[in-house]
Structure 1
């Protein structure tokens, strides 16, 4: 089965709702569904997290990381305190991160596994940058930006998780036949993961949208974070680039000193996030 046939087959399965997720994903999905209700009682959220030891450990770890404890407050030692510190929206993002990470957990082929690891590294750096860009540049909700960045490559992770079954997925595609199938697969995976419409639309727009000047929305945040990320996605023949004069364009709304500070902060946050989410 060649690349085009493989994409077509998986897209057809996706349209029929026949998505193949790792069993371990289901627990995190249950947490996401519950937390999607802003009125979810704190005790219910705590119970859901405690029912999944890995999620509980990661919740406490990320609450104590540099991302959420810059003031050097005492370490949190329980799930209740961790949820109170990071909030429901970031707990929702953490559950999503576990879902994304689990897609690569059963990959057997070493080459495919290496791509999944690079894609995860790329995702973490984009997430750290998106949160900072949202806060300092685009003035959108940083928690929404963090979540969107964590799931922005979920379609790629899903395809990598199927590559052992369909080796043709990783063949070269010089004629670029598969974009339509990729869009279908991405859309269906995001629907399965209950990605909010605002976030899903921004992620779908990454393929062929241009940065607004000045950047002022979620899509712009993701475009800029992808451009600044030090690790590229291994699934793209070329990184999602801004125009050739992008660096001079960025100078219009971020001065050199501020940009350097943002990049340094993002490196600290990416390292903290990577350690806290290591599975």
Structure 2
């Protein structure tokens, strides 16, 4: 297949993301609504609970997250959206909105040709999100909720590219070309999409740099956290197809941690990773 189709996909996306009025993909509708609501400085929990309550999937995930082991060590269950939001925090609603958006996309008819890679991608995404939260809280000492959100959206460029590629049957049929498009462009496309959605600069930088190999001697920033979480997840849950791509180089982990320390980090976070993956669903 000629690269002309790939160029056409990228050209269409560039036009969409550089225009004055951006048309967001349908699967991001609820995320856009939540983002708009959260920008209101006068927004209160009751108002947010009303918005979330109108979306059954979001309501379910908020309550599930509030009752997860990671956020509910006391074991006292919550059954309503308002108290769920109070427990997880208003910003966590943004994270859940993306989880719902991507889950809806993955279950849509247009994504059926990408079933295998979609399944691997969601597994990888949930793992990175959970690991990012653990690394942020336990090592970098930065906001764990922001780190989890960044982990959840770090590969949104892959989801978005697949949703656009679905309209080009010849690209869908050429798995090697499709895979090259996803691998080569997902970080820049994800950065542009999140920028259009008004994401914080720290999140944008972390997403743009998450595939850029570099030496890290100490995990300090959100960008460091995402980069390392992505490397750890790539050892056991990479979304890339080994038929078209070599294994991701994760050797920097062996320079950053000794084997015992890295194993300890993974073991210590295992329950929380599982809990957060369960809370996000998918």
Question: Which residue number in structure 2 is paired with residue 228 of structure 1?
Answer: 232
Q: Name segments (4+ residues, structure 1) moved above 6 Å.
A: 176-180
Query: SS in structure 1 opposite 2:89?
Result: helix
Are the structure 2 counterparts of residues 44 and 239 from structure 1 closer, same or farther at C-alpha, using a change threshold of 3 Å? farther
**Larger helix proportion of the pair:** 2
Instruction: Identify which of 142, 145, 159 aligns with 1:143.
Output: 145
In the TM superposition, what whole-angstrom CA distance separates every residue of 1:21-49 from its partner, at most 9, and x where no partner exists?
12x53233212221244652111111111
Question: Which residue number in structure 1 is paired with residue 202 of structure 2?
Answer: 198
Note the C-alpha offset of 1:76: 0.5
Aligned pair count? 271
Are the structure 2 counterparts of residues 183 and 128 from structure 1 closer, same or farther at C-alpha, using a change threshold of 3 Å? closer
Are the structure 2 counterparts of residues 89 and 191 from structure 1 closer, same or farther at C-alpha, using a change threshold of 3 Å? same
Note the C-alpha offset of 1:263: 1.5
Q: How does 1:1-279 map to 2 (within 5 A)?
A: 2-16=5-19, 19=23, 21-22=25-26, 24-37=27-40, 39-72=42-75, 74-108=76-110, 110-167=112-169, 168=171, 171-173=175-177, 182=186, 185-229=189-233, 230-234=236-240, 237-238=245-246, 241-242=249-250, 244=251, 246-251=253-258, 256=260, 258-278=261-281
In 2, Cα distance between equivalents of 1:277 and 1:87: 15
Are the structure 2 counterparts of residues 171 and 50 from structure 1 closer, same or farther at C-alpha, using a change threshold of 3 Å? same
**TM-score, normalization: structure 1?**
0.84
If asked which structure has higher relative contact order (CA below 8 Å, sep 6+), I would say 1
**TM-score, normalization: structure 2?**
0.83
Note the C-alpha offset of 1:137: 1.4
Of 213-222 and 11-20, more deviation after overlay is shown by 11-20
Query: SS in structure 1 opposite 2:69?
Result: coil
Q: RMSD across aligned C-alpha pairs, in angstroms?
A: 2.9
Q: Provide structure 2 residue ranges, at least 5 long, that are not aligned to the other structure.
A: none
Note the C-alpha offset of 1:222: 0.7
Tell me if the contact between 1:129 and 1:266 (Cα under 8 Å) persists in the aligned partners.
Answer: yes
In the TM superposition, what whole-angstrom CA distance separates every residue of 1:178-234 from its partner, at most 9, and x where no partner exists?
888655532331133332121011111123252421121111101110111120122
Are the structure 2 counterparts of residues 157 and 179 from structure 1 closer, same or farther at C-alpha, using a change threshold of 3 Å? closer
